[in-house]
Amino acid sequence: MAETTAAPGRPPSRAILVVLDGVGDRPQADLGDRSPVEVAATPHLDALIARGTIGSVVVVAPGVAPESDAGVFALLGYDPVQDSPGRGVLEAIGVEIPLAPGDVALRLNFATIGGDGEVVDSRVGRSLSTTESSQLARSITAADLLADRDIRAEVRATVGHRGVLWLHPVRGGPLSPNISNADPFYEKVGGMGQARRPERPALQRVKPLDTTPEAQRTADGVNEFLERAAGVLAGEPVNARRAMAGKKIANGLLVRNAGSLPARPLEPFARHSGVAGAALTEMPVERGIARVLGLEDRYVGPMAGDRGAGYVERARVARELVDRYPFVYVHLKGPDEPGHDGDARLKQEIVEAIDRSFFGPFLQGLDLQSIRIGVTADHATPCAAKGHTDDPVPFVLVGAGVLPAPGAAGAKFGESAAAGGALGLHRGRDVLSMLLRPSVP
């Protein structure tokens, strides 16, 4: 990695945005009042800070705990409320569902639901395999649960407990995405989903969000589908085997953030920003974002068993993209899941693996005199909260045109250094311009 030299007035020839999903966290007493990120060994990220600067980002707005898609839209310079077609649409596009005008798509979780409707586990203990969820999805789809409502309802499993509910009207005109969520942990605001923390996390009845017959029909259809799907799941051999093995069963569905294809395509990233771009993504939703924005899509899929080898491979692919495109967006899912699970030690280990096995090889020989790098997160997922929050997240900026900040040498990547960093506090919508503009004081 070459030393950074400022070149005021000249934009970088390449810009790279690395998004560490959910990396933001909070101090914990059992970690010496430091966060999992702050206790992690991150020599490569620390070296970037020493050559550049660090600050914080409020990804969407104070008081808004965004989902990943909303956070990424903001970081890429879009308005997640007005511009996003909805999480369901992005997930559907990410797994190549052929949505048609009038269809509605919703993000889906297989979940464990108690007899009183309370959500026992929104991720089925995070042990539901993609093979198992695919079998459950096939059974629900084969039942054609909304045929009497002239709606074809298909469930497509994606990764683990995750999936998409695709509603296609057979007759009776188009459906409407203007409906509320059944998932109690998220609420819908325009095209954006944001996290919420209910006192009693019970399955919600879906309601129309406007007075149109289309919204009422869609809400009624989703409610009927969820009730009937629970009956299919109750008789599924997959759940019988899981119960025999002492595992949580997938006896219910949580759906959220309905969307439809927009009447007009979104402005492509190249036109919106002035530069062509590419994306390295691991999950269907980020793949969907890349596709709707016209970014070159390099989907590497979820992390397999060997974490170190996986990050080395991601570094290799990212370097290939940097050689070909003036802007590259890299999304690494790793830190988010242990945040949701409240596993601080695992989050620490994953941050260390990213620093060692991704940033180590990625930065090797990279010329920071002509390239600018930003490292941040799409939201915070503190282990203590076990969910997304509106906490500011670290933002490291280094490379061409970035003057090294006084006192940055010796700073440790994490929330405390970010809060006191010379780069200051910014909104997510500012990140792209800070990566692309000629110089950053």
* Whether residue 428 sits in one domain with residue 372: yes
* Whether residue 123 sits in one domain with residue 19: no
pLDDT at 10: 61
Average the pLDDT over each of 81-90, 140-149, 324-333 and give the range with the smallest value. Answer: 81-90
Q: Which two tokens stand for residue 105?
A: 């798509």
- Does any domain span residue 5? no
Is the pLDDT confidence value at 11 over 80?
Answer: no
- Domain end, chosen from 259, 274, 309, is at 259
Pairwise CA distance, residues 371 & 322, whole Å: 9
Pairwise CA distance, residues 369 & 361, whole Å: 18
How big is the chain, counted in residues?
441
Looking at this protein, which amino acid is placed at residue 101?
A: P
Pairwise CA distance, residues 72 & 428, whole Å: 9
- Does any domain span residue 3? no
pLDDT band at 410 (very low <50, low <70, confident <90, very high): confident
What does the pLDDT look like over 279-316, one tens digit per residue?
999 999 999 999 999 999 999 999 988 999 999 999 99
pLDDT at 190: 83
Pairwise CA distance, residues 376 & 24, whole Å: 9
Pairwise CA distance, residues 85 & 191, whole Å: 6
- Domain end, chosen from 259, 294, 310, is at 259
Pairwise CA distance, residues 6 & 401, whole Å: 4
Q: What is the pTM of this model?
A: 0.93
pLDDT at 5: 46
Nearest CA to 257 out of 169, 161, 191, 168 is that of 191
- State the CATH number of the domain containing residue 22: 3.40.720.10
Q: If residue 319 lies in a helix (H) or strand (E), which one and from where to where?
A: helix 307-324
- How many H-runs (helices) and E-runs (strands) does the chain carry? 16, 15
* Whether residue 145 sits in one domain with residue 224: yes
pLDDT at 424: 95
Is the pLDDT confidence value at 244 over 90?
Answer: yes
pLDDT at 437: 85
Is the pLDDT confidence value at 7 over 50?
Answer: no
Pairwise CA distance, residues 335 & 340, whole Å: 9
- Does any domain span residue 8? no
Looking at this protein, which amino acid is placed at residue 26?
A: R
- Does any domain span residue 4? no
Pairwise CA distance, residues 223 & 220, whole Å: 5
- Domain end, chosen from 214, 229, 259, is at 259
Contact 404, 51 (CB under 8 A): yes
Q: Could you tell me which residue, 408 or 403, shows the higher pLDDT? A: 403
Q: How far is CA 436 from the centre of its chain?
A: 23
Nearest CA to 387 out of 95, 166, 119 is that of 119
* Whether residue 95 sits in one domain with residue 78: no
Domain enclosing residue 284, as ranges: 14-85+263-436
- Does any domain span residue 1? no
Averaged pLDDT for residues 204-208 = 97
Angle at 375 between CA 373 and CA 381, to 5 degrees: 170
**Above pLDDT 90, what percent of the chain?**
89
Pairwise CA distance, residues 13 & 359, whole Å: 20
pLDDT band at 38 (very low <50, low <70, confident <90, very high): very high
Pairwise CA distance, residues 357 & 347, whole Å: 15
Backbone angles phi, psi at 186, to 5 degrees: -140, 145
- Does any domain span residue 339? yes
Pairwise CA distance, residues 329 & 320, whole Å: 12
Cα distances (Å, whole numbers) of residue 250 to 143, 231, 374: 17, 11, 39
* Whether residue 406 sits in one domain with residue 325: yes
Domain count within the chain? 2
Pairwise CA distance, residues 322 & 328, whole Å: 6
* Whether residue 240 sits in one domain with residue 114: yes
- Does any domain span residue 393? yes
pLDDT band at 347 (very low <50, low <70, confident <90, very high): very high
pLDDT at 9: 53
Looking at this protein, which amino acid is placed at residue 323?
A: D
What does the pLDDT look like over 101-130, one tens digit per residue?
999 999 999 999 998 899 999 999 999 999
Is the pLDDT confidence value at 441 over 70?
Answer: no
Pairwise CA distance, residues 1 & 365, whole Å: 5
* Whether residue 343 sits in one domain with residue 202: no
pLDDT at 4: 45
pLDDT at 2: 46
pLDDT at 348: 98
Is the pLDDT confidence value at 344 over 60?
Answer: yes
Averaged pLDDT for residues 338-345 = 96
Averaged pLDDT for residues 151-160 = 97
Is the pLDDT confidence value at 263 over 70?
Answer: yes
Q: Helical H runs in 76-121?
A: 80-83, 87-94
* Whether residue 228 sits in one domain with residue 108: yes
* Whether residue 403 sits in one domain with residue 304: yes
**Above pLDDT 70, what percent of the chain?**
97
User: Which residue reads 């830190």 in tokens?
Assistant: 335
User: Which residue reads 């490569």 in tokens?
Assistant: 44
- Does any domain span residue 441? no
Pairwise CA distance, residues 10 & 3, whole Å: 17
Is the pLDDT confidence value at 6 over 60?
Answer: no
Average the pLDDT over each of 47-61, 182-196, 220-234, 323-337 and give the range with the smallest value. Answer: 182-196
> For the chain, what is the mean pLDDT?
94
Q: Is 51 helix (H, G, I), strand (E, B) or coil?
A: helix
Nearest CA to 156 out of 177, 139, 134 is that of 134
* Whether residue 315 sits in one domain with residue 217: no
Pairing status of strand 252-259 against strand 277-281: unpaired
* Whether residue 110 sits in one domain with residue 249: yes
Is the pLDDT confidence value at 8 over 90?
Answer: no
Pairwise CA distance, residues 143 & 152, whole Å: 10
* Whether residue 212 sits in one domain with residue 74: no
Contact 84, 70 (CB under 8 A): yes
Averaged pLDDT for residues 372-379 = 98
